[in-house]
Amino acid sequence: MKDERILELIEQKNYIELKKELSDMNEVDISEILEELEQNTSLLVFRILPKDVAVEVFAHFSAEKQEEIISAVSDKELKFILGELFFDDMIDLIEEMPANIVNKILTNSTHEERVLINQFLKYPSHSAGSLMTIEYVELKKNMTIQEALAHIKETGLSKETIYTCYVTDNKKKLEGIVSLRNLVISDSDMKVGDLLHEEIIYVETHDDQGTVANLFTKYGFMAMPVVDKEHRLTGIITFDDIMEVIEDENTEDMQRMAAMTPLETTYLDSGVLELSKQRIPWLLVLMLGASVTGGIITKFENLLSTYAILMAFIPMIMNTGGSSGNQSSTLIIRGLATEDVTLKDAGKVLWKELRISLLVSVILGLVIYGKNVLTGKAGFMVSLTISLTMGVIVMLATIVGGMLPLAAKKLKLDPAIMAGPLITTIVDALALVVYFGIASTLLF
């Protein structure tokens, strides 16, 4: 294994061979190895790396490791790292660092960089402006293809991507895009304007990162331009940055669906107290909600004492109802996340869930009725009560599960909170009210 070989060379202090081995490795793999080493050793190995490799490795470090490296390296070393980092990576770095580290970074930045950093930090978090980078290729319509290619050769090394070039006017307003492929295969005396593709998809600086992620997913872009309110090109968002956003958004949704406040750090990096604080609020809400269920059962003690067999079917009815609600809510929450479903579709969702719930409830109701009659454990009226309850609660749970995420979206809440435990708690209370209501009507 490569990792074992690297650790062996470190232990032997064979730094010449170590440098050769590391130079042939992928930067991501190197960063993973250095993350596991203690501070002095990792700093020593980091300084052995060729400068261009060291910058790439640094960009892949966790925030904690980056802070550790910045605290230990000299101002000269830090200035080189900052100078070679892509601008969006520098912004991400500053946002993650404590004040003393930020001061050290700003001290070792140029005046122009500090102006841009301050501008970027003013954008709202989770907005397109906070994600973008300024390292893109900018061309003018009146350039010849030869001039455009020369410009790309001159500036391309410092850009995040050169495959799509952005054409702007003298006021930086975005006019269109040109692909590197078209530039390469076209005659050198043609104008960039002759190849201009004007129908482009773009986002504005204050657009939410979720909207940006959906556009990337929908169109399969590698990069997307970001403009301000005057349609001036301010930066681009690249695919690697939006992949991190998509991963973060999915993680947050999963945590909310499990009735937890989303974590700001990874599980292993979070303390016990922090993890407990994320879980307790929702658990309190769910616990109090479940106490309502207990109150409903208490209210119908007389009914249960007369027909004790009704108690045996409560778990089945509640579980089936909760599962029905969760099935609907999961589909709608995912549809809202991918924008396959919007608030305008509320009527369509209601009509579809109504038909689905009717079909499912009839089948489940007939099955449970047949089971009770065949086993002979419940009489005719009790079996009818359970069958009708199953049908009604499945219909209600399916509709509630489909509509509550839309209601949350309308109230500008995350639809993911209307999932799992919360839907189950709501449906449990509904199930008992319906169950005991039908039983009271039919049996008394």
Instruction: Give the whole-angstrom CA distance, residue 258 versus residue 268.
Output: 18
Looking at 213, 247, 281, the residue that finishes a domain is 247
> Quick check: 176 and 200 in contact, CB under 8 A?
yes
Per-residue pLDDT, 305: 77
- The reply to whether the predicted model has a pTM over 0.85 is no
Q: What is the pLDDT of residue 265?
A: 66
209 within a domain of the structure (yes/no): yes
Kindly tell me the sign of the dihedral angle through the C-alpha atoms of 96, 100, 105, 110. Answer: positive
Residue 127 has pLDDT above 70, yes or no: yes
The amino acid occupying position 49 is L
Q: Is residue 272 very low, low, confident or very high in pLDDT (cuts 50, 70, 90)?
A: confident
Which residue range(s) make up the domain with 175? 138-247
pLDDT digits (tens, 9 = 90+) for 9-28: 888 878 788 888 888 888 88
CA angle (365, 302, 423) in 5-degree steps: 45
3-state secondary structure string across the chain? CHHHHHHHHHHHCCHHHHHHHHHCCCHHHHHHHHHHCCHHHHHHHHHHCCHHHHHHHHHHCCHHHHHHHHHHCCHHHHHHHHHHCCHHHHHHHHHHCCHHHHHHHHHCCCHHHHHHHHHHHCCCCCEHHHHCECCCCEECCCCEHHHHHHHHHHHHHHCCCCCEEEEECCCCEEEEEEEHHHHHHCCCCCEHHHHCECCCCCEECCCEHHHHHHHHHHHCCCEEEEECCCCEEEEEEEHHHHHHHHHHHHHHHHHHHCCCCCCCCCCCCCCHHHHHHHHHHHHHHHHHHHHHHHHHHHHCHHHHHHCCCHHHHHHHHHHHHHHHHHHHHHHHHHHHHHCCCCHHHHHHHHHHHHHHHHHHHHHHHHHHHHHHHHHCCCCHHHHHHHHHHHHHHHHHHHHHHHHHHHHHHHCCCCHHHCCCHHHHHHHHHHHHHHHHHHHHHHHC
Q: Are residues 277 and 420 in the same domain?
A: yes
pLDDT of 147: 92
- Which of the listed residues 126, 160, 187 is the one where a domain comes to its end? 126
Q: What is the pLDDT of residue 420?
A: 67
Tens of pLDDT, residue by residue over 357-410, are: 889 988 988 888 888 888 766 778 888 888 899 889 999 988 888 888 888 888
Residue 322 and residue 393 in one domain: yes
Among the residue ranges 126-130, 243-247, 267-271, the one predicted with the least confidence is 267-271
> Does residue 139 surpass a pLDDT of 90?
yes
263 assigned to some structural domain: no
Per-residue pLDDT at 191: 92
Longest dimension (CA), the chain: 95
Q: Do 234 and 95 sit in the same domain of this protein?
A: no
Domain annotation covers residue 133: no
* Per-residue model confidence (pLDDT) at position 148: 92
Based on the fold, state whether residues 194 and 305 are members of the same structural domain. Answer: no
Q: Are residues 184 and 92 in the same domain?
A: no
pLDDT tens sequence across 149-197: 999 998 888 788 888 999 998 888 999 999 999 999 999 889 999 999 8
- Residue 115, φ and ψ in degrees, nearest 5: -65, -45
Of residues 47 and 261, the one with the higher pLDDT is: 47
Residue 73 lies in a domain: yes
Average pLDDT of the residues in 74-84? 80
Please indicate, yes or no, if residue 14 is contained in any of the structural domains: yes
Say if residue 214 is in the same domain as residue 280: no
**% of the chain residues with pLDDT over 70:** 93
pLDDT at position 190: 92
pLDDT at position 263 over 70: no
pLDDT of the residue at 262: 66
Number of domains, the chain:
3
Give the model confidence (pLDDT) of 355-372 as tens digits: 988 899 889 888 888 888
Would residue 325 count as lying in a domain? Answer: yes
- Are residue 432 and residue 351 in the same domain, yes or no? yes
For the cut 80, the answer to whether the pLDDT of residue 316 exceeds it is yes
Mean pLDDT to the nearest integer, 106-115: 71
Task: Indicate the residue among 126, 154, 171 that finishes a domain.
Answer: 126
Share of the chain above pLDDT 90, in %: 11
Does one domain contain both 276 and 419?
A: yes
What are the beta bridge partners of residue 225? 236
**Domain presence at residue 131:** no
Would you state the pLDDT for residue 1? 58
Residues 205 and 89 in one domain: no
- Position with higher pLDDT, 294 vs 188: 188
Mean pLDDT of the chain: 82
| In-domain check, residue 116 | yes
* Backbone dihedral angles phi then psi of residue 163, each to the nearest 5 degrees: -70, -25
pLDDT given at position 149: 93
Residues in the chain: 444
The predicted pLDDT at position 49 comes to 86
pLDDT tens-digit readout, 221-252: 888 999 988 888 988 988 888 887 777 777 77
CATH code for the domain of 144: 3.10.580.10
Give the pLDDT score at 2. Answer: 66
Q: Return the CATH number at 26.
A: 1.25.60.10
Which CATH number fits the domain that encloses residue 386?
1.10.357.20
Domain identity same for 302 and 421:
yes
The whole-number pLDDT of residue 45 equals 83
In this prediction, residue 267 carries a pLDDT of: 64
Question: Do 151 and 74 fall within a single domain?
Answer: no
**With 70 as the cut, is the pLDDT of residue 118 above it?**
no
Residues 305 and 362 in one domain: yes
